[in-house]
Structure 1
Amino acid sequence: MKLGVSTHKLFGYRATLRTAKRLTEEAVRVVDRAVAGRMPDVQVVLTGERHLADVISAAEFETAGCTDKRVQARALRDAKRQARDVAGRSIPLADGGVLVVVNIDQHPNEATFAITLVHELVHAMQTSRKGVRDRLIAGMRHDLGVERLSRRAYREHERLLEAEEKEAYGSEYLAGRLVPAAAA
């Protein structure tokens, strides 16, 4: 399992990057022990609200194999509209790893960052389970219009996404092991 932490178009955040690297290493250890599955290769990217949509969209286009420029432009517009509300996002990559994008503007302190990091790392662990990565990529391809799923398959995908989201929210208490203030 490889782990990388970097920034995208953030300047003057060297101390934040150091803190993020420290917390990420600890969070990977804690989540790996507490959640079922194997931790895949994880790349954590810190960015601001302004560039969040660009990073997320580029990763999704690459994973889904989307080459249609009109679809890419529409997806990027939608992502920019939603970027203000997104604290973090995990995206399965084509090479088997997971990209975790964190909106640094949503995290005023270590405690909120730790909670988001644990939440997204739980999603990363979920992608290692049998059939989950393929289902997530198929759902991404459906959302981008590359390859449609049947209504029944898409409803099942949505139901499983909801269950995975509940599991991730239920595991956020693990952030208290990283930063004691996150337990409150």
Structure 2
Amino acid sequence: MTIPVELDPTGPYFLRRRTARLLPEAARLVTAHMRETMPPTLVRLAHPSQFGPLVVEATGGNPTRWRALRENQHLRRTAHIATGLTVPTHDGQTLVLLHTAALRDDDQLFPTLIHELVHAVQMGRPTAADTLARNRHHLGLEHRSRRWLADHDDAIARDEDEAYRIEHLLAAR
């Protein structure tokens, strides 16, 4: 069984080489543990300043300049405290963004790959459309009610708990 995970050829050479070496094992462990299929996934090494434009591109819409700038600033602030971000794309794939500066530590890369690939598997579930809808809502491309957003926040918290639990189980190798 081949796992549809691909590493983008951009990013710092040594980090990209290390990621390419660890990525197949991380993907195999995650799919074997979760017993779910992973949608086609692109892993990209990026600086936090690139997170916003990449997420906007992944939504498949054309937000106003002001909305895109606001989302860009939000994701840039968020990226400084996170080592990765996983989002569904408008074409049914998953985009995993890894914060290059945060992954300089050798001990951080494998757990982060596990964590983000768990999110990639979660994006293959039927509720992944909700995550894309939320991103589109923040960009002003769709409208969602406050109740819907609150329910989605609860779903995000459950997904995050699952990702941390599996990360701790699988990354302690």
Deviation at 1:62, TM superposition (A): 2.6
2:88 to 79, 92, 95: 92
Match for residue 6 of structure 1? 8
The one-character-per-residue Cα deviations of 1:21-60 (angstroms, maximum 9, x if unpaired) are: 110111010001111421111111112xxx3232x22232
TM-score with structure 1 setting the length: 0.83
Decide whether the 8 Å contact of 2:15 with 2:104 is kept in 1. no
Decide whether the 8 Å contact of 1:36 with 1:125 is kept in 2. no
What stretches of structure 1 of length at least 5 have no aligned partner? none
Match for residue 18 of structure 2? 19
Which stretch of structure 1 is more off in the superposition, 66-75 or 85-94? 66-75
What is the 5 A alignment of 1:61-72?
61-64=56-59, 65-72=61-68
CA RMSD for the aligned pairs? 1.7
* Residues in 2 aligned to 1:82 and 1:31: alpha-carbon distance in whole angstroms: 25
The one-character-per-residue Cα deviations of 1:66-122 (angstroms, maximum 9, x if unpaired) are: 331111112112222333212101111112111111112112333211111100000
TM-score with structure 2 setting the length: 0.88
Residue identity (%): 30
Which stretch of structure 1 is more off in the superposition, 105-114 or 25-34? 105-114
1:156 to 139, 151, 163: 151
Tell me how many residue pairs correspond in the alignment.
169
What stretches of structure 2 of length at least 5 have no aligned partner? none
* Residues in 1 aligned to 2:140 and 2:63: alpha-carbon distance in whole angstroms: 11
- Which AA in structure 2 matches 1:88? G
Decide whether the 8 Å contact of 2:63 with 2:140 is kept in 1. no
